[in-house]
């Protein structure tokens, strides 16, 4: 009896969250893909132009019957002239990409590459992954999350570039965020302490069932991740600068103060939004002022900001004193010693 061949492991497929506000898509807001620590995942990302609409890559990548395009076969439609030139497609990708003179056909060939680096410390290691075009017409590409990123946790920037084969330089770069939430499946040396999205939503009671008047969450995933990163950047950038205590979203160890700063940042954003959009209306004897919340939100933001600032000041002083070693000399000590010598 023959032994059955082992099955090939299959990664789960994850698409980025669509950013919405009041249940309406925010096309220009950064997209976020969220996975849990240790998960083997493929990300299916839809490339969008500067106006937020899907990019048609059919003119750059030959794709019969929308089958996946292998990395080695990223080419233009073989020998077929098209109504729109490649340069016109490139201009639709990036409004600043122009060609001197007339639009011309080109023999350039392209591939898709993904570069992933921590969102809070760009100088940290960068991971480079090749990507496959799975649907050229809709601008959808697929790439695997590196195991080093998946098991580590944190928030990363994913730059998806359409690159020329001749020199590897990109002609267009799409930017998104990748969040790897902490779990029990992690590397032995990767103890990620970053608050999860549900941790933050539970703390501020921001769910669709608890927002009785709205029926949807108030803060998008992109809002939450931006506030997480902002807190770590502020710690690293506030004096005194402690070289032994520079952190990333993966390594920052103090969760409760971190949550205070996250809440302060979220409510500050909301206060700006409500202050910009509030409008008192009156119709048929009924008055409405639903968006007049900026002062209330600003008060909450200031309360949590003050708690964060006080804690950060005390904690940095504590760490600074712990790192102190050596002796401090003083000219007064020399004067005392010389006086004692004369009296003898």
d(CA 281, CA 262): 33
Q: Please name which of 343, 286, 317, 33 lies closest in space to residue 175, comparing C-alpha atoms.
A: 33
Rounded mean pLDDT, 148-176: 91
Q: Which is higher by pLDDT, 230 or 208?
A: 230
Q: Please name which of 7, 19, 14 lies closest in space to residue 150, comparing C-alpha atoms.
A: 14
| Domains identified in the chain and CATH numbers | 12-181 (2.60.40.3350), 197-322 (no CATH)
Q: According to the model, what pLDDT value does residue 94 have?
A: 57
Q: What is the pLDDT of residues 39-78, one digit of tens each?
A: 999 999 988 877 777 888 887 875 444 444 444 444 333 3
List the structure tokens of 98.
């122009």
Place of tokens 């006080």: 310
Ramachandran category for residue 153: left, alpha or beta (phi over 0 → left; psi -120 to 50 → alpha): left
Q: Is 306's pLDDT higher than 80?
A: yes
Which range, of 115-129, 137-151, 320-334, averages the lowest pLDDT? 320-334
Q: Which is higher by pLDDT, 37 or 107?
A: 37
Instruction: State how far the alpha carbon of 282 is from the alpha carbons of 275, 288, 290, in Å.
Output: 19, 6, 12
Q: Look at the pTM and tell me if it is higher than 0.75.
A: yes
* Burial class of residue 54 (count of CB atoms within 10 Å of its CB; 0-12, 13-18, 19+): middle
Contact between residue 217 and residue 210 where contact means Cβ atoms under 8 Å apart? no
Contact between residue 211 and residue 290 where contact means Cβ atoms under 8 Å apart? no
Q: What is the pLDDT of residues 9-35, one digit of tens each?
A: 667 777 776 666 666 666 667 889 999
Q: Which is higher by pLDDT, 320 or 108?
A: 320
Mean pLDDT (the chain, rounded): 79
The DSSP code sequence of 131-149 is EEEEETTTTEEEEEPPHHH
């Amino acid at each position: 009896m023959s032994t059955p061949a082992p099955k090939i492991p299959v990664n789960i497929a994850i698409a980025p969250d669509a950013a919405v506000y009041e249940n309406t898509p925010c096309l220009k807001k950064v997209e976020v893909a969220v996975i849990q620590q240790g998960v083997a995942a493929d990300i299916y990302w839809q490339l969008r132009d500067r106006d937020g609409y899907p990019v048609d890559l059919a003119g750059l990548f030959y794709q019969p019957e929308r089958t996946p395009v292998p990395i080695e076969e990223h080419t233009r439609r073989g020998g077929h002239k098209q109504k729109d030139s490649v340069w016109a497609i490139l201009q639709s990708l990036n409004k600043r990409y122009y060609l001197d003179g007339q639009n011309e056909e080109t023999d350039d060939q392209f591939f898709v590459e993904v570069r992933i680096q921590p969102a809070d410390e760009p100088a940290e290691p960068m991971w480079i992954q090749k990507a496959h075009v799975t649907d050229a017409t809709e601008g959808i590409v697929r790439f695997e999350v590196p195991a080093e990123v998946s098991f580590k946790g944190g928030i990363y920037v994913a730059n998806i570039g359409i690159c020329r084969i001749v020199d590897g330089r990109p002609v267009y770069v799409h930017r998104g965020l990748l969040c790897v939430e902490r779990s029990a499946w992690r590397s032995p040396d990767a103890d990620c302490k970053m608050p999860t999205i549900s941790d933050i939503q539970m703390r501020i009671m921001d769910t669709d069932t608890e927002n009785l008047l709205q029926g949807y969450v108030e803060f998008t995933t992109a809002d939450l991740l931006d506030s997480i990163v902002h807190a770590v950047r502020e710690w690293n950038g506030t004096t005194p600068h402690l070289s032994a205590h520079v952190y990333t979203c993966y390594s920052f160890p103090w969760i409760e103060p971190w949550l205070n700063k996250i809440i302060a940042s979220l409510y500050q954003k909301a206060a700006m939004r409500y202050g910009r959009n509030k409008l008192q209306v009156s119709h048929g004897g009924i008055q409405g002022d639903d968006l007049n919340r900026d002062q209330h939100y600003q008060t909450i933001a200031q309360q949590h900001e003050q708690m964060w600032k006080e804690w950060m000041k005390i904690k940095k002083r504590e760490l600074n004193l712990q790192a102190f070693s050596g002796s401090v000399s003083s000219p007064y000590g020399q004067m005392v010693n010389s006086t004692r010598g004369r009296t003898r």
